[in-house]
Amino acid sequence: MTAAEAVAGAHRDGRALVLAATVRVVRDVGVAEECVQEAYAAALVAWPVDGVPANPVGWLTTAARRSARTCGRR
C-alpha cells in the first residue's frame, strides 16, 4: 500500500473522528476543518518518507489537534 492509498483509506475510515477530535480543541468547525486539512497534507509529505504509521487515523488526529492548538497562536 502506498502512502497516498493509506491517506485515502484513513480519510475514508476516520475523517469524522479526526474532525470531531479537532473541533473539541478549537470549538470552531471551520478552523477545525483547516487544521484537519493541514494534517492530511502533512501525512502526504511525511508518510512516503517515514512510512505509514501503525495507526494512521491516530496519527492524523494527533497532527490535527496539534495544529489546532497552535492555530490560536498564529
Tens digit of each residue's pLDDT (9 = 90 or more) over 7-54: 999 999 999 999 999 999 999 999 999 999 999 999 999 999 999 999
Closest CA to 55 of 6, 5, 2: 6
Q: Any idea where the domains of the chain sit in the sequence?
A: 3-71
**pTM to 2 decimal places:** 0.91
Q: Which residue is listed with cell 468547525?
A: 29
The CATH code that applies to domain 3-71 is 1.10.1740
Residue 52 cell numbers, joined:
505509514
Distance, in Å, from the CA atom of 7 to the CA atom of 28, rounded to the nearest integer, reads: 24
Closest CA to 19 of 7, 8, 31: 31
Distance, first Cα to last Cα, the chain? 36
